[in-house]
Every structure is written in C-alpha cells, then in structure tokens.
Copies of this chain bind each other. A is one copy, B any other.
Amino acid sequence: MTLAELAQHLGATLVGDGAMSPKRLASLTSAGPDDLSFLMPGKPADTDAGALIVSRAHPVDSTRHYLQVDDVYAAYAAASQHMDPAPAQALGVHPGAYVDPTAVIGEDVCIGPGAVIEAGVTVGDASVIGAHCTVGANSRIGRAVVLMARVTLYHGVTLGDRCRIHSGAVIGADGFGFAPSADGWQKIHQLGGVTLGDDCEVGANTCIDRGALDDTRLGQGVKIDDQVMIAHNCVIGDRTAIAACVGMAGSTVLGANCTVGGASGFTGHITLCDNVHIGAMTLVAGDIRAPGAYAGGVQGARPMRSWKKNVARFNQLDELARRLLALEKRQNETKE
C-alpha cells in the first residue's frame, strides 16, 4: 500500500512522496527509512522512520514523508489494519475438517484442518474457523467472524457478526452450579447458552460459561482480554472492555461503556450501571449505581520489611480505631 492510498484511507494530508510504499508500520525506535511510524502530539520526533503519521500542527520538512491527521492514535489504529502482515487462511473447507452434513456453511468461508462443526450449526459468509476449533451442535456464527485456531464453542452458542475469538477460548462450558445434598454436591445442569453481539473480541484462554437457564449475554462491541472468566448468567453491556485475568462470578451485570482493570473480580449477583471504570485487582462486592472511577484493594509494592509491619497493623485495625476513639473521648472529657 502506497502512502497516497494510506492517506486516502486515513483522511490524511500527504506531505512528501505518495508513491512510497512503507515496508512496515513500526515503532519510532525500530522504524527505518523504509518504514512508517506515528508520532503522538508533544513527543520528540527521534526516529529514523522514512514516513510519519503526525498531527496537523506538527512541523513538516523534506527529511521524510508525512501523513497529517486530526487524531494520530486513531490514524495509527486504522493504518495497523491496512499494514497487518498476518497471513490469510485458505478459502474453503480443509479436507481434514469434520463438518456435519446438517451444518449450513455460508459463502467464502475458511474452515481449517481438524475443525469440527457439529449438527445444526450455521456459519455466516466470510467467516474463518481456525484449525482444531470445535463448534457445538446448533451454534450460530454470524458473518465475517474469525475463530483463531483451537477455539471451543459448546452447543447452543450464538456469535454476532464480525466477532473475533482467540485461541484457547472456551465459550459455553457449564456454569459452576451444584446443589448441596446428603450425598455431596448434586450437579445443576446448565441449560442456557451464550450469546455475543456483533463486533465482540474475546482473548486467548478466556472462558464464558453458558447460563443456568437463560443465556449468558455480551452486548455489541464488547472487548475481552486474555484469561478472563465470565460465569453463568452474566450480562455485559455494549462496548464494555474487560482487561486480562478478570473473574466475574455468576449473575454479575455490567452496564454499557464500562472498563474493568486487570485481575479484578466481581462477587456475583451484583449490578453496575453504565460508564463505571474499575481499577486493577479490585474485588467489587456490591452494586454500583453512579458512573465514575472506582478501585479497591491495596495497590503498590513496598519493601518487604515495612510492608509486613503495615499488614500486621491492618489486622489490628479495628482495635486501633477503637483505641483512637477512646482517646478522643477522654481528651474531650478532660477539656470539659
């Protein structure tokens, strides 16, 4: 792709040679004279990049080529799509795939070696099912969906259009439901499914369990990082983004346009409104009804010796507080 073509895609003003075809989109540090890079406003242009995406206010010169844009970060995101060297999968059904004759496969679909498509499945046009994926019975996959290699969908899973699911993700495994009984735990079979809206992304080795009765549901444009665990009956609002290693216990309801920091947890059966932002490694243990930023836990690493003393004090905290209040009271009495 030439700079002229890129300029058109990005709505950029080209300053320099439009015929240049950058070899790579690269970081400022690693970019060379054949590469394109991008410079966030206010940062120094300390780079050998032959071409640079810059803000419209940035001074240009003849030492390299420039693409001037309104929003550098958005232009970088758009350019990354056009310059992604990821190879395309071969069109068609690989002879090593196992496709049930009752499955309905759309046009221009790629199905990789070893993929298993069970009975009653539908796969929309232009979707890619990677090697060794399993798509359980009666699941429905929208158009232009990408399942990377080794994604597992259990039966009764629905994916909207343009979803992108990474390797190792498991969607539709049993929710963790057991009733106590005299003979130990009695399994509660999980009869619901999982439904994802359009444009969702699910990271590597993430789990989204099927609902106990109704479906576990993700809205439109939900983005989930790696190693996340979404338990049965969770509902996640549109465009909410969840960082890695988060765990959501059953029946957690997240609003739209929320963000959740890495390794946070939700105790389940709680509801968060729209536009809530949760810090990293926070255990959310109750409803949140007002938009805004929230956090919990004790962030930050301290030298081991002083940390140990503070933790010991934490375990005396109620007693210390009581003694403080008693002191206050005595002092007030003394005054009177």
Contacts and interface: CB of A to CB of B under 8 A. Distances in A.
Interface in A120-169: 130-132, 134, 136-138, 148-150, 152, 154-156, 164, 166-168
B283 A191 contact: no
Nearest to A192: B27
Interface stretch (A1-9, A57-65, A103-111, A285-293): A285-293
Interface string A282-305: 111110100011111111111110
Copy tally for this chain in the complex stands at 3
Contact of A178 (B98, B223, B249, B267): B223
A119 B87 contact: yes
18 contacts: A30-B214, A77-B186, A77-B188, A80-B187, A94-B98, A96-B98, A134-B150, A154-B167, A166-B173, A168-B170, A173-B226, A184-B199, A204-B207, A278-B301, A283-B297, A295-B301, A309-B317, A313-B321
A235 interface: no
Contacts of A304: 279, 292-295
B226 A207 contact: yes
A201 interface: yes
A288 B318 CA distance: 22
